[in-house]
């Protein structure tokens, strides 16, 4: 009774902690969440261009803020699914694009599901292994004779020893010797089976609520979990080598436990693996479910039948509701180019990131902050934050050129429509060459049916004849700059760089040139 009450108290505390974290996510107080550091993500994820350009792996980035996965495999599936990359893991399930919507349609089910995935002994961001069960048994294949001999010998030898001690029968040392030699012959492999028993037993105990919650046959599932947990309790004797040795010298104890494990596998293997796949699959979409559960104003996108991209309104999912400004996405078709101009801090780059994040959410099967968002089958590329490398001797300019070359080559072989987000590209060269190079790059991308979003301060680029022109601007209120972060048609005619410099105390002695 005491142990049960203790578990209930632990579960209540864990639930309270989860609710507090949900409030921080809802109010945008992401700094109060214990998210992981960038270096704690897999290298391919943290170095992915989308992760860098969209701040996905920062302390307040989307991947960490909404990560509530608890399994190692589920965590990796979630990361790579959001980036729309194959993760290379064995057993990677093909994502069901409608599963998040199906879960969110059930009133209280999303919250109950997330609570059942709580792990009482887990630390923040800790992930646990959820192993599959392999039914094959190489142990007996090598010792087929022992498989039939040991049940008889394992009963006869302890009985003979017991009787022999009472009646002073001969051969007792000989029996100990035989059992000792047998034990030495399988000791190395039996340790591996004990390791598997402990792993399955720990998993059974840790995920018990989840197994039972998802199971359609709770009675059978409970039997499965109870039997492997009881078998795992036997492994405690391995901590004390002497009792473990004595049990094997008397009863061939390890062989009986290996036989019990194999019988358990024979009966429950298929059922365990079915639930294991279901748990990992659901675990991988829990962050997306959580995002939709918190944002009741989020809408699911529509896949366009007319190969175009547009939305009545879109907003960045990481902005709190009080600071969020929605903007429309005009219709964009393959080959279209949108050039966004505007003064500093007016919202150009945030607008690009809002569209890119909405596409990633749509591609993951999640809802997004916006209305009537229609999208095509796409492949997303970003070039927003270039990085140089002193080690490789790579400049910002050359880094951008390599990225652009990679994107163009990828567009040639892609069956999906490439969608590109380019922010002030080719900054590392003079204005004349930058204009020529940018114009030619945009022409090539148009020929390859790419949809391109480009922000720039170079108003000469607005002369490109096929470009759709939009801008952001600042407002003047009581002599101070103010921003409404609203997109407008046409080209920006205002600048604010000198105003910002003067505001920060940097003297501008001659504004007229």
Walking along the chain (513 residues) 10 residues at a time, the average pLDDT comes out as: 80 90 92 93 93 93 95 94 74 63 90 89 89 85 83 85 79 85 88 92 94 94 95 79 84 90 94 95 95 92 84 93 90 93 83 95 93 90 67 58 81 82 78 82 90 88 90 72 84 57 50 51
Angle 365-370-371 from CA coordinates, rounded to 5°: 95
Separation CA 189–CA 195 (nearest Å):
10
Residue 169 falls within a domain, yes or no? yes
Q: How many CA atoms lie within 13 A of 143 on its CB side?
A: 17
472 and 345 in a single domain? The answer is: yes
Length of the chain: 513
30 and 142 in a single domain? The answer is: no
The two tokens of residue 244 are 């473990």
Strands laid side by side in the 417-423 sheet: 378-383, 417-423, 451-455, 337-342, 467-472, 488-489
The two tokens of residue 133 are 């069960």
245 and 313 in a single domain? The answer is: no
Separation CA 386–CA 49 (nearest Å):
9
Residue 493 falls within a domain, yes or no? yes
HEC profile for 259-321?
HHHHHHHHHHHHHHHHHHHHHHHHHHHHHHHHHHHHCCCCECCEECCCCCEEEEEECCCCCCC
Q: In this structure, what DSSP letter does residue 95 have? A: P
How far is C-alpha 8 from the geometric centre of its chain's CA atoms?
A: 29
Residue 277 falls within a domain, yes or no? no
Residue 205 falls within a domain, yes or no? no
How far is C-alpha 276 from the geometric centre of its chain's CA atoms?
A: 17
Contact at 8 Å (CB) between 337 and 468? yes
Partners of 417 in beta bridges: 378
Containing structural domain, residue 453: 298-504
Dihedral angle over CA of 34, 35, 37, 38, nearest 10: -170
Separation CA 411–CA 408 (nearest Å):
5
Partners of 513 in beta bridges: none
245 and 110 in a single domain? The answer is: no
Distances 483 to 57, 212, 312, 344 between C-alpha atoms, Å: 28, 53, 21, 10
165 and 68 in a single domain? The answer is: no
Residue 442 falls within a domain, yes or no? yes
Distances 149 to 144, 145, 146, 188 between C-alpha atoms, Å: 9, 6, 5, 20
Overall pTM surpassing 0.85 (yes/no): yes
Give me the residue label for tokens 């505390």. 13
Q: What is the pLDDT of residue 468?
A: 93
**How many CB atoms are closer than 10 A to CB 94?**
6
254 and 365 in a single domain? The answer is: no
348 and 255 in a single domain? The answer is: no
120 and 8 in a single domain? The answer is: yes
354 and 420 in a single domain? The answer is: yes
370 and 481 in a single domain? The answer is: yes
The two tokens of residue 247 are 């049990």
User: Domain tally for the chain?
Assistant: 3
111 and 159 in a single domain? The answer is: no
Residue 402 falls within a domain, yes or no? yes
Give me the residue label for tokens 């009646």. 167
- Phi, psi angles (nearest 5°) of residue 187: -55, -45
161 and 85 in a single domain? The answer is: no
Q: What is the CATH number of the domain that holds 495?
A: 3.40.50.300
Burial of 426 (0-12, 13-18, 19+ CB in 10 A): buried
Separation CA 339–CA 266 (nearest Å):
63
Residue 38 falls within a domain, yes or no? yes
Separation CA 338–CA 454 (nearest Å):
6
Residue 143 falls within a domain, yes or no? yes
């Amino acid at each position: 009774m005491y142990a049960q009450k203790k578990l209930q108290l632990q579960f209540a505390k864990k639930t309270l902690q989860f609710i507090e974290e949900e409030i921080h996510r809802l109010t945008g107080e992401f700094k109060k969440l214990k998210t992981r550091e960038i270096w704690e993500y897999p290298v391919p994820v943290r170095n992915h261009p989308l992760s860098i350009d969209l701040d996905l792996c920062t302390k307040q980035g989307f991947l960490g803020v909404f990560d509530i996965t608890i399994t190692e495999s589920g965590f990796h599936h979630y990361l790579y699914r959001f980036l729309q990359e194959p993760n290379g893991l064995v057993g990677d399930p093909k994502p069901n694009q409608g599963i998040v919507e199906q879960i969110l349609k059930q009133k209280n089910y999303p919250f109950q599901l997330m609570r059942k995935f709580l792990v009482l002994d887990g630390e923040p961001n800790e992930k646990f292994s959820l192993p599959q069960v392999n039914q094959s048994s190489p142990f007996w294949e090598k010792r087929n004779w022992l498989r039939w001999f040991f049940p008889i010998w394992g009963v006869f030898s302890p009985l003979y020893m017991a009787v022999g001690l009472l009646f002073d029968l001969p051969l007792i040392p000989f029996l100990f010797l035989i059992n000792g030699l047998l034990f030495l012959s399988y000791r190395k492999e039996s340790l591996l089976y004990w390791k598997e028993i402990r792993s399955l037993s720990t998993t059974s105990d840790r995920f018990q609520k989840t197994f039972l919650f998802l199971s359609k046959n709770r009675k059978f599932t409970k039997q499965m979990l109870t039997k492997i947990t009881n078998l795992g309790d036997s492994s405690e004797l391995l901590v004390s080598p002497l009792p473990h040795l004595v049990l094997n010298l008397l009863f061939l104890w390890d062989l009986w436990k290996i036989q019990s494990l194999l019988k358990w596998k024979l009966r429950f293997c298929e059922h365990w693996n079915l639930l294991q796949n279901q748990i990992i699959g659901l675990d991988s979409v829990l962050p997306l479910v959580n995002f939709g559960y918190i944002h009741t104003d989020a809408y699911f996108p529509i896949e366009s039948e007319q190969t175009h991209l547009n939305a009545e309104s879109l907003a960045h999912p990481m902005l709190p509701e009080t600071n969020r400004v929605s903007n429309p996405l005009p219709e964009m078709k393959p080959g279209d180019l949108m050039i966004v101009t505007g003064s500093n801090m007016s919202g150009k780059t945030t607008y690009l990131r809002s569209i890119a994040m909405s596409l990633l959410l749509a591609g993951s099967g999640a809802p997004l902050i916006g209305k009537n968002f229609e999208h095509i089958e796409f492949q997303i590329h970003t070039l927003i934050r270039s990085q140089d490398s002193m080690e490789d001797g790579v400049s910002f300019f050359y880094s951008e050129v390599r990225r652009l070359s990679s994107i163009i080559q990828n567009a040639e072989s892609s069956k999906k429509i490439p969608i590109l987000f380019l922010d002030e590209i080719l900054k590392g060269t003079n204005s004349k060459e930058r204009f020529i190079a940018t114009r030619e790059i945009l022409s090539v991308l148009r020929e390859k049916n790419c949809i391109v979003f480009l922000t720039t301060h170079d108003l000469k680029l607005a002369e490109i004849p096929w470009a759709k022109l939009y801008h952001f601007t600042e407002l003047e209120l009581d002599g101070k700059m103010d921003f409404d972060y609203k997109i407008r048609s046409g080209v920006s005619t205002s600048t604010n760089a000198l105003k910002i410099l003067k505001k920060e105390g940097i003297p501008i002695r001659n504004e007229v040139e």
